[in-house]
């Protein structure tokens, strides 16, 4: 295996549970909203029959080209969309792939983003402060660090990284950038480390800082909120949506979205006299939240924080 190939390895998270709950049938039309390197998709495609189809969304064209290679034997059964899943309604009209009945949303960052330094997603590798999934995005991490006012930076680190000393971190960044712009990941870490980073919690703290920047660069939480609504609205009746989240901010959005559909507000004045809530619009397909087994967590450390929620449209 050469070096470039070794950088592009990816173990699909909670694969067995995803396949169990999506219950893929021959003629299903499946949306893989975060195609990545095609790990989940290849296993879904094995179960699709002649009439089945998979539509893979991914913002990162580099990932999509790699996925195309890996899924080449399924040519004709896969549509590739180099865009965000929250644009689903546009592509339903343009590509006319018809009603879909299964959806997978794996909200994790794909392995190459962390493993390849030039993507700038990891504090453990020295690369440019980029963090864009889509290179057409004009906002990158460097622009945020070098241009945003202190108050906005503090808001990003507190809201998206849940960092307790977010104000101090923001003030330090604004002071340090007067000496010159932040360009590379390691330079950024070195310039904030002494004043802001707890020694005993260095990795956890920096993970939260980089998570906050990544979410801000890619507007991830707004995309998730809008995307869930559109994916559900256009889903076939009895269709199933499976969502894998990796941090509390994402999982909270998913959980609240499902809860609102399980206990929707009654809009009929007459029925509202008897109950504030209308009939459920979705059904959860499991009693407890689904997490990786001990064995999977040990074999794939990036799966450790994964949480799977699966629901069916009624």
Are 207 and 61 within 8 A, CB to CB?
no
Asked if 150 and 279 sit in the same domain, the reply is no
Residue 100, C-beta contacts closer than 8 angstroms, at least 6 positions apart: 29, 30, 31, 55, 234, 235, 236, 239
Dump pLDDT digits (tens) for 21-53: 999 999 999 999 999 999 999 999 999 998 999
Asked if 63 and 147 sit in the same domain, the reply is no
Tokens read off for 40: 């989940």
Pick from 149, 184, 218: which residue ends a domain?
Answer: 218
Q: Which residues of the chain have pLDDT under 70?
A: 1-10, 111-112, 114-115, 265-278
Tokens read off for 155: 């808001």
Structural domain boundaries, residue 265: 3-112+221-313
Pick from 180, 199, 218: which residue ends a domain?
Answer: 218
Residue 299, C-beta contacts closer than 8 angstroms, at least 6 positions apart: 11
Pick from 164, 195, 218: which residue ends a domain?
Answer: 218
pTM for the predicted model, two decimal places:
0.90
Residue 165, C-beta contacts closer than 8 angstroms, at least 6 positions apart: 196
Say how many domains are in the chain: 2
Dump pLDDT digits (tens) for 242-274: 999 999 999 999 999 999 998 876 666 666 555
Asked if 102 and 154 sit in the same domain, the reply is no
Q: What is the DSSP string of 162-223?
A: --TTHHHHHHHHHHHGGGS---BHHHHHHHHHHHH--GGGHHHHHHHHHHHHHHHHHTHHHH
Residue in this structure with the two tokens 């963090």, named with its chain if needed: 131
CA 23: distance to chain centroid? 22
What letter would DSSP give residue 126? -
Q: How many Cα atoms are found within 13 Å in the side-chain-facing hemisphere of 149?
A: 2
Q: What is the pLDDT of residue 275?
A: 62
Burial pattern 80-108, b for ≥16 Cβ within 10 A else e, equals bbbebbbbbeebbeeeeeeebbbbbbbbb
Asked if 107 and 243 sit in the same domain, the reply is yes
Q: What is the pLDDT of residue 7?
A: 46
Q: What is the pLDDT of residue 273?
A: 54
Count of beta carbons in the 10 Å neighbourhood of residue 238: 10
Asked if 31 and 80 sit in the same domain, the reply is yes
* Integer Cα distance of 40 and 31 in angstroms: 11
Q: Which of 171, 160, 283 is nearest to 221 (CA)?
A: 160
CATH number at residue 54: 3.40.50.150
Tokens read off for 52: 């089945």
């Amino acid at each position: 295996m050469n070096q470039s190939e070794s950088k592009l390895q990816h173990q699909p998270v909670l694969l067995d549970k995803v396949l169990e709950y999506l219950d893929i049938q021959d003629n299903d039309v499946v949306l893989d909203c975060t195609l990545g390197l095609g790990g989940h998709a290849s296993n879904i495609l094995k179960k699709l029959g002649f009439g089945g189809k998979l539509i893979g969304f991914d913002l990162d064209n580099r990932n999509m080209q790699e996925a195309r290679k890996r899924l080449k034997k399924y040519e004709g059964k896969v549509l590739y969309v180099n865009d965000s899943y929250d644009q689903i309604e546009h592509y339903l009209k343009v590509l006319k792939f018809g009603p879909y009945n299964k959806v997978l949303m794996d909200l994790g960052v794909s392995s190459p983003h962390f493993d390849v330094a030039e993507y700038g997603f990891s504090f453990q590798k020295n690369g440019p402060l980029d963090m864009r999934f889509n290179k057409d995005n004009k906002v990158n991490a460097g622009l945020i660090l070098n241009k945003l006012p202190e108050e906005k930076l503090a808001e990003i680190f507190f809201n998206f990284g849940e960092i307790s000393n977010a104000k101090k971190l923001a003030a330090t960044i604004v002071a340090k950038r007067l000496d010159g712009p932040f360009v590379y990941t390691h330079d950024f870490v070195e310039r904030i480390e002494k004043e802001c980073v707890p020694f005993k919690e260095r990795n956890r703290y920096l993970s939260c800082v980089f998570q906050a920047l990544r979410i801000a660069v890619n507007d991830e939480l707004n995309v998730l909120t809008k995307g869930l609504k559109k994916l559900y609205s256009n889903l076939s009746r009895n269709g199933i949506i499976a969502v894998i989240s990796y941090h509390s901010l994402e999982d909270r959005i998913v959980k609240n979205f499902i809860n609102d559909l399980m206990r929707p507000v009654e809009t009929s004045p007459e029925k509202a006299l008897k109950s504030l809530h209308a009939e459920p619009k979705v059904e959860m397909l499991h009693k407890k939240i689904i997490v990786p087994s001990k064995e999977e967590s040990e074999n794939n450390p990036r799966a450790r924080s994964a949480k799977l929620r699966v629901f069916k449209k009624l």
